[in-house]
Structure 1
Amino acid sequence: MWMRDERERMTVYAAMRDGVLATESDDGEWRTTEGLVEHRIECLDAAAEHAFCGTFESGLHRTIDGRSWERVGAESLPDAVTAVRVSPHDPREVWVGTEPSRLFKSPDAGKTWRELPALTSLPSADEWSFPPRPSTHHVRWIELDPTDPERVYVGIEAGALLVSEDGGETWTDRPEGSRRDNHALATHPDAPGRVYSAAGDGYAESTDGGLAWEHPQEGLEHRYVWSVAVDPGDPDTVLVAAASGANSAHRVGESYVYRKRGGGEDAAWRRIGDEYDSGAGLPTGQGTYRYVLSAGREAGEFWALSNTGLFRTADAGDSWERVGVAWPDRFDDATARGLAVVGE
């Protein structure tokens, strides 16, 4: 049974469609609190000081203890919050994206907000649309560069990848080779300029801060890619969650996890986690909705969340263990919406 150092406290926030589990451990035992029940959860991010969760019908919520949540920004933010990101440079700085697509920034942990209006006047904006609701669209992901506090990446679902080099005041619209249906983005503190994209129209990587993109696809048999995470100890080891299409990922439930090691166009993907027996391994295939993946805080550590439960690997996906948290029965048929692992 995997255990951390008893002196280290950690919290895992696992957001499902209709509730958030905050799971704490500082002595090898897990204590789980369920919050935001009966809300329609869209997104989640966290730092050691606090966590933020976006809902579709009641805006943004914040917790400082994992047990009680309060709405923040009710007078400034729309009700439909679809993306949230806590800055890696300053945990008080919080970014929010909404439906329809708008972008907001708070310098004080959600007390005050400022809109960044340049996002809505870009040339591609007239072409943005979300297929299930074609008259609208939303910010699906916000990624803040860990080595440059002014560089911001935004994924619009669906229609564009956007890159800002001045903190969101101006944008590069649809840089060369970028995907149109970006679901999740990732960066790495040891790889300046490296950006990873999980998109409905395939996987992509950039090595120049998002201004040009490559598409390493070899071995990736399922190319509707939903989530991406990068090994904390190796920017060339990448995991993605993928399916054959949106219906398989979100409704039917037939999704897979792949790993790529090595950089460049020629690096091949390999499917992992297909063996699952009596709680060992990672369930994939039929009955599994698309995973949300998160990098841990140690080399080789990844976390994965789906309707099948919460899982952790310490060896970059060679072996997995289900984390023994209290798991509501209704989550068995729910989609995962966000995952964050933080510690003190």
Structure 2
Amino acid sequence: MAVLYAAGAGAFAAIRGGGIELSLEGMGAGCLAVDPEDPWLVYTGTHEEGVFRSSDGGRGWERAAALPHRRVTALAISPRDRTLYAGTEPSAIFASRDGGESWRELEGLRRLPSAPTWSFPPRPWTSHVRAIAPSPADAGLLLVGIELGGVVRSPDGGASWQDQRPGAIADCHALAVHPAEPGLVYEAGGGGFAESRDSGESWEVRNEGLRHRYAWGLAVDPGDPGRAYVSATSGPGRAHGQGDSGAAIYVRRDGRRWEALVGDLDAFPYALATAPDEPGVLYAGFGDGRVCRLGGGGLREVATVPGGVAALVALPEGF
């Protein structure tokens, strides 16, 4: 089974060999990123305490340098040059080339013409960076999803920005660039699923077979550009409310039509992840804290994280 890192409001969890190690308990972790060259090097962003860094797979943590905004809502690391990106609320994006020891704001994001219109419905006076997707082929190419404000694009590492991309879903929840086909980019959002085949320049909504249109979790099969996964339900109340979510996890095997893998789920699957050494296997992290493996034997629980799961990364066994 893959090694899993999970982040949630109650704790960070490292799940290895059937065991679970908890850390950062009660710190409000909400997002995470793993160094592409060193899987022991992990970063997590918290709701109120900024960014933390671990060099031993989550056993010990230290604070990264402070950001102007303490609510960190997205993290990503460039596979090309290992630049660490952090997105915040209010919407801003910062880059670090020294592992979080120092940060530089990519200020052009806040100067985009659409920026004054960005607004997150539960807190309409603000918005936040929900997703960051660096290109695995071009160190300068960066896609950023704003909740609620759409998908914007920088071709030069944040020096300049292109405003909301045509066809992208405005209520962006997740972005993913396919590692084997870098021009192929996926988005999950409040409106379903969209894809771009030109590195995020233009987008097309592709909801064929997707019965639920409030999509959140997103994962790609690293060996198959035609296979993608999303989690979705009927709306934000079902996803984030107290009752049954009624959600489903969908797969698109042929690059065209979605089909449900599992449905009528009590808890909402906020985070989806695939591991490169387990083709056809999906991991899901739920709002009730369960982490499950979805493969040939159906949905099987592998661990429980206190306080729920907001972000999940799957790594090869024995990395």
How far apart, CA to CA, are the structure 2 residues paired with 1:233 and 1:320?
22
Specify the code of the residue in structure 1 equivalent to 2:22: E
2:252 aligned with 1:272: no
How far apart, CA to CA, are the structure 1 residues paired with 2:312 and 2:81?
20
The alignment's TM-score, normalised by the length of structure 1, stands at: 0.85
Matches within 5 A, 1:159-178: 159-178=149-168
- 1:312 maps to 293
- 1:145-187 Cα deviation digits (max 9, x unpaired): 1122111110001012101111111111111111101100011
Q: 1:90 to 1:314 in 2, by over 3 A?
A: farther
How far apart, CA to CA, are the structure 2 residues paired with 1:253 and 1:169?
44
Instruction: Mark the runs of 5 or more structure 2 residues left unpaired by the alignment.
Output: none
Aligned counterpart for 2:30 among listed residues 36, 42, 48:
42
Deviation at 1:41, TM superposition (A): 2.1
CA contact (8 A) 2:178 2:184 kept: yes
Specify the code of the residue in structure 2 equivalent to 1:143: A
Identity over the aligned pairs, expressed in percent?
39
- 1:21 maps to 13
2:71 aligned with 1:83: no
How far apart, CA to CA, are the structure 1 residues paired with 2:31 and 2:54?
14
2:19 aligned with 1:31: yes
Deviation at 1:232, TM superposition (A): 1.4
- 2:84 maps to 94
CA contact (8 A) 2:31 2:311 kept: yes
Matches within 5 A, 1:248-263: 248-251=238-241, 252-254=243-245, 255-263=247-255
2:212 aligned with 1:232: no
- 1:301-333 Cα deviation digits (max 9, x unpaired): 321111251122456xx734322x3x35x44xx
Deviation at 1:87, TM superposition (A): 1.9
- 1:104-147 Cα deviation digits (max 9, x unpaired): 00111111111110000001101000111100111011011112
Aligned length: 309
How far apart, CA to CA, are the structure 1 residues paired with 2:18 and 2:298?
21
2:281 aligned with 1:291: no
Aligned counterpart for 1:125 among listed residues 103, 109, 115:
115
CA contact (8 A) 2:168 2:205 kept: no
- 2:55 maps to 64
Instruction: Mark the runs of 5 or more structure 1 residues left unpaired by the alignment.
Output: 4-9, 275-283
2:201 aligned with 1:220: no
CA contact (8 A) 2:188 2:217 kept: yes
Q: Which runs of 4+ in 1 moved over 6 A?
A: none
The alignment's TM-score, normalised by the length of structure 2, stands at: 0.91
Aligned counterpart for 1:247 among listed residues 237, 240, 245:
237
What do you get for the CA RMSD once the two structures are aligned? 1.7
Q: 1:253 to 1:167 in 2, by over 3 A?
A: farther
- 1:12 maps to 4
